[in-house]
Amino acid sequence: MAKVVTLEEFQAHTTRDSLYVLVHEKVYDVTKFIDEHPGGDEVILSEAGKDATDAFEDVGHSDEARELLPGMLVGELDKESLLKLSSPKPAPIPAVHDAVEKG
């Protein structure tokens, strides 16, 4: 049975020294891979503490990259945490001057 990772545990690993990323509801420890990442370390670090699935898929990672994932697997993010991460952020409230028509 896969380990269940809490949001608190997942978000405790957001630095270069200990970095977890979330891809397809699974938590991966990519700490040892940061320096080898072809896109540079900033790309991975920018996904720390959030769901990196879209970023991972948008880049179109190779089969070779996908084959590395099982060796970095920590576990699955618990369902409640998934909901918190995927909840849409509230839309910003427009400033009053944006609503005033220019005449």
Q: What is the pLDDT of residue 88?
A: 57
- Mind listing the domains of the chain with CATH numbers? 3-86 (3.10.120.10)
Secondary-structure percent of the chain, ordered helix, strand, coil, rounded to 5: 45, 20, 35
**Arithmetic mean of pLDDT, 1-28:** 92
| Predicted model pTM | 0.78
Q: Are 26 and 77 in contact (CB under 8 A)?
A: yes
Quick check: 103 pLDDT over 60? Answer: no
In this predicted structure, what is the pLDDT of residue 1? 63
pLDDT at 77: 93
pLDDT (tens digit per residue) in 31-86 = 998 888 877 888 889 998 889 998 888 877 878 888 989 999 999 999 888 888 77
pLDDT grade, residue 89 (50/70/90)?
A: low
